[in-house]
Structure 1
Amino acid sequence: MRPSSLANRTSSSANAQATLLKLAEKKKEFEAVAALETASNNYLDRINGLANDCDIMALAGEVHGQVSEQWPRMFHILNLFLASRETSQDQPNHPLKEGEMLVRIPIEDPDTNTAAISSR
């Protein structure tokens, strides 16, 4: 008579269940690692975007500094122009200096609805 194989079957089914439980556990670990990798990639993309924004702001700061550096020169030029304009007004019938010009601006007359030209 042969020994019963029932004990052998129960031990192999217990091994199969243990293996399936390990497989399910490993699957959960793999999904968690995949989710962590996806979150890390998203975080990296956001950090790279912030780095690009910081680079743009740094360049904008440099440009702002260059423009601010030019303001004293601009005011000096404007003061020179205003001073030359004041001296030319003191001398009547003085020909136009560089930087001065006559401008004709059409102005609509509200009474007649016609355009008049004003010289300045």
Structure 2
Amino acid sequence: MSLPTWLQNSIATHDKRASLVSAFTMVEVKPLPVVARYLTVAGAHVVIREITLDLSHGSDVPATFAECGGCTDAQYFEWNWDDEDLSRPEKQAKARTEARAWSQAHAETCRAIPMEG
């Protein structure tokens, strides 16, 4: 299964996510429900989603992903698996907090008109 277009476009412009996805040969992305939406000054939405990269060898890599529907700028927030001091819910909460802060700041300044379609 190929990556959804919205994720392919965002990955292409963000090296951090591109290196994560390109490190695996078979990746299936399962979008999860929207966590939050922020309205930009031009009327577009900045959407926060949690996605799971389902790797071919059976492990899942969760991530929090925010993307603007106006300018298509996006940001990826890792759940920081290297931090052994945090539990899975704490890692998720930390990524959500970072995504919300980025999304709010972006929505306050983005003047791109919402994309059609």
Structure with the higher fraction of residues in helix conformation: 1
Scaled by the length of structure 2, the TM-score of the pair is 0.21
- Who wins on radius of gyration, i.e. which is larger? 1
Structure with more contact order per residue of length (Cα contacts < 8 Å, sep ≥ 6) = 2
Structure with the higher fraction of residues in strand conformation: 2
Scaled by the length of structure 1, the TM-score of the pair is 0.20
